[in-house]
Structure 1
């Protein structure tokens, strides 16, 4: 657990929170944010990520915002629609070259609201397979989509 990060975020001290985040590795920060969001079920963590995005927009932070919205905050109205925004920005920022970002888009084809159409999902699967021809998720999804 990162000492004080949660209390800084919960008290809206985003500037000090940002400085703390800059001193640790991103994986540790991501795990901490998701853990705290599951425990507190607060949208404040999403607000903090948006603060970070305003300061320095990166695909990593968009991917983390996506994870936050489709996991601990998925019960909130509009969470998946907001996650779509973050997935699209991440894909754009990585010039459609990051498999993980593309997989996030693909996930949004599997939810009940199907924010990504089957046609678009097929295209995404093919893009993923061009980048990683052994990607099992893309292979399985493509198979399933073509059978329907």
Structure 2
């Protein structure tokens, strides 16, 4: 992963709206390293500009990983922004369209039902839990969700 200097450069480029320059610095990051870096930056900055940068990356090369990252950033470090959960829902649904077998994405659907804002309907959460259990019959998130329904 990049060093502190690289992280600071990325932050500077993002805050200056120089997304192409920031993108070049993260070009060789694998998805896990990128997620870790972007989440760290998001928590430090607490600024919508990080989400905007992720959207730029998605526009260049749409992927499940980038949509998942956008959703995670909106659910976690940027959740205080009005509409963050609804925005994350778009990215989760789009990522599921790209890879319907990804259990972690379906778990996010359940999470978005369980939060106080209840962005996802009960029916959609039940469908997600059912699909999860078809793939992974011992999935704790889905089983716990069903237990709460009873």
Q: Same fold (TM over 0.5)?
A: yes
Q: Following TM superposition, where does structure 1 have runs of at least 4 consecutive aligned residues deviating by more than 2 angstroms?
A: none
- Counterpart in the other structure of 1:78: 83
2:114 match: secondary structure: coil
Q: Deviations over 1:57-81 (max 9, x none)?
A: 1111010001100111000001011
Q: Deviations over 1:12-39 (max 9, x none)?
A: 1111211221112221111111111111
- Counterpart in the other structure of 1:100: 104
Q: Deviations over 1:95-115 (max 9, x none)?
A: x21001111111110111211
2:71 match: secondary structure: helix
Aligned length: 145
- Counterpart in the other structure of 1:117: 121
Aligned counterparts, 1:1-148, within 5 A: 1=3, 3=6, 4-94=9-99, 96-145=100-149, 147=150
Q: How many Å separate the matches in 2 of 1:97 and 1:14?
A: 31
Q: How many Å separate the matches in 2 of 1:32 and 1:39?
A: 11
Cα-Cα RMSD:
1.2
TM-score of the aligned structures, taking structure 2 as reference length: 0.91
TM-score of the aligned structures, taking structure 1 as reference length: 0.93
Give structure 1 stretches of 5+ with no counterpart.
Answer: none
Give structure 2 stretches of 5+ with no counterpart.
Answer: none
